[in-house]
Amino acid sequence: MRFGQDSQLNLVLSKHLNPQLSPIEIQYFSMHSPLTTILPDLSLIPPPFMYVAIGIFGAIIGSFLNVVIHRLPREASIVFPNSRCPSCEAAISYYDNVPVLSYLLLRGRCRSCKAPISARYPAVEVLAALLWVAVAMHDGLSFALPFDLVFVTALVALVFIDAEHMILPNAITYPGIAFALIARLAVPYLMGTPHFDDLPMLLDGVLAGMPLWAASLIGAVIGALVGGGSLWLMGWAWEKLRGVEAMGLGDVKMMFMVGAYLGWRLTILNIFLGVLSGSLIGVGLMLRQGKRDMQMLLPFGVFLGIGAIAALLIGTHIVEWYAGQFR
């Protein structure tokens, strides 16, 4: 018997309808019973209001991300001093710091010196708001939601820093790897196994009979090795073929984090999406700009990061559809 999301739901239902479960079902259910079944029902909050609230939170986080994106690569403190105009150094007051709205009201210019403010600021705020709503629609109000929000928010920061500076700072990737492992330990107990794409399969197959936390961590290590390992191999092969360093270790560390969190199936999809979109845009740029090297132009972390967000939100559907073609 396969335990997917539906079979788990069926178990919850059948426990109420039919108290005579088989011993293996009772054992499975007692091992994997999600905490959500015993907690108050948050779905009573009207969804439109919930999504608006989460979108506003996302925009505020986006505003903070702008500070991270600007200061982290310059090794400036993220907390002090308060935000200043990069042109005239004038302190930005709280009423000029409202996500998106202030940019529109000031028509994209600094209040004191009228220097143009980069469109990146409102763009990151709008993007963060939209992604927070998308993640909330994907997870519902569940224990997985805060974990997925942290994961996606870290990826947005990495994407924008890589786009501007061609680096993926250790200050994000190292805590990101630790975060992925903590999520791997906590979320299966809070949400049941199916939240991680690879976990039901592992528990059903090679890791059958193993404690949930151990199986989840092993899944994380496999995912990290698939993600970081394949990036490292690509860089190594490119270096051997072309004699130039192709990829920084930043990409490898980022894919350790992503692979540990997403599991091996979604990580393969993520790398496929990243390589595909990166090469399409890279070839396009090479054709337009003459014969410069693709790797000179492309911050690969941008494409991997976007691929990781796509894999989190819709990856399981894509992978299941693909696997269905061969059944």
Q: Rule CB under 5 A: which residues touch Zn ion?
A: 85, 87-88, 110, 112-113, 115
Q: How far is the CB of 86 from Zn ion (least distance, A)?
A: 8
Q: How far is the CB of 114 from Zn ion (least distance, A)?
A: 7
- 307-311: which pairs have CB atoms within 8 A and are 24 or more residues apart? 307/269, 307/270, 307/271, 307/272, 307/273, 307/274, 307/277, 308/155, 308/258, 308/262, 308/270, 308/274, 309/131, 309/152, 309/155, 309/156, 310/270, 310/273, 311/262, 311/266, 311/267, 311/269, 311/270, 311/273
- In terms of phi and psi (left: phi > 0; alpha: psi -120 to 50; beta: otherwise), the region of 125 is alpha
Name the residue type at position 70. Answer: H
Nearer to Zn ion, 76 or 115 (CB): 115
Nearer to Zn ion, 114 or 292 (CB): 114
Q: How far is the CB of 72 from Zn ion (least distance, A)?
A: 22
Nearer to Zn ion, 33 or 87 (CB): 87
Residue 119: strand, helix, or coil:
coil
User: CA quadruple 123, 263, 303, 71: dihedral positive or negative?
Assistant: positive
Nearer to Zn ion, 89 or 320 (CB): 89
Q: How far is the CB of 67 from Zn ion (least distance, A)?
A: 16
Q: How far is the CB of 160 from Zn ion (least distance, A)?
A: 22
